[in-house]
Structure 1
Amino acid sequence: MSKIVSKGTGAVTGLVGGAVAGAIFKQVWKLASGKDETPDPTSDQYGWKEILVAAAIQGAIFGVVKAVIDRTATGKIHRATGR
């Protein structure tokens, strides 16, 4: 039973984490670049440097948010189930 709860919680936290990380990235990008829109890697409007910097920032933010959410969820599941 705890595996089912864990997998379900993992799916939900993944969705929430992605949404939170995306919102944080948009705000960080706006502050860092002064632009409202994040660069689209498939657009000719942006150069390699801008695309790669944006991807690195986005990846770092996603990694931190995912770690925080996963760690918090794991602790709560452990306390609730004793496992």
Structure 2
Amino acid sequence: MKAFGVVYKPAGLLLGAAGSKLAGAAFKRTWKLLGHDQTPNDASNKVRPWRQVLLAAALQGATFAVVRAAVDRAGARSGGTARRSLTGA
């Protein structure tokens, strides 16, 4: 059981990094589909209107949450299968 944990930790880190990249790309694509030419750099940018900054933050948060949940769920399902095949439990 410990050997599985040693393998699962790095795999989880890699899946998390890949999920973060995927979420960032999904957010940028969605933002452009909504008709915005570029992503808002940060909330302290005085040029961007409040509405745009807050909408971008909400959309980005939702996108990252959905992608993280999907990656975590996929890791848990595949991890359980791998653990059962290795340990029989």
- What do the CA deviations read for 1:5-28 (whole angstroms, capped 9, x no partner)? 222122111100111011110111
Could you tell me which runs of 5 or more consecutive residues in structure 1 were left unpaired when the two chains were aligned.
Answer: none
- 1:7 alignment partner in structure 2: 9
- 1:35 deviates by 2.1
Structure 1 length-normalised TM: 0.88
State the structure with more CA Rg.
Answer: 2
Q: Is residue 42 of structure 2 the alignment partner of residue 74 of structure 1?
A: no
Contact 1:40 1:46 in 2 (8 A): no
Q: What is the aligned-residue identity percentage? A: 39
Aligned residues: 82
Root-mean-square deviation over aligned CA pairs: 1.3
Could you tell me which runs of 5 or more consecutive residues in structure 2 were left unpaired when the two chains were aligned.
Answer: none
Q: Which runs of 4+ in 1 moved over 4 A?
A: none
Structure 2 length-normalised TM: 0.83
- 2:41 alignment partner in structure 1: 40
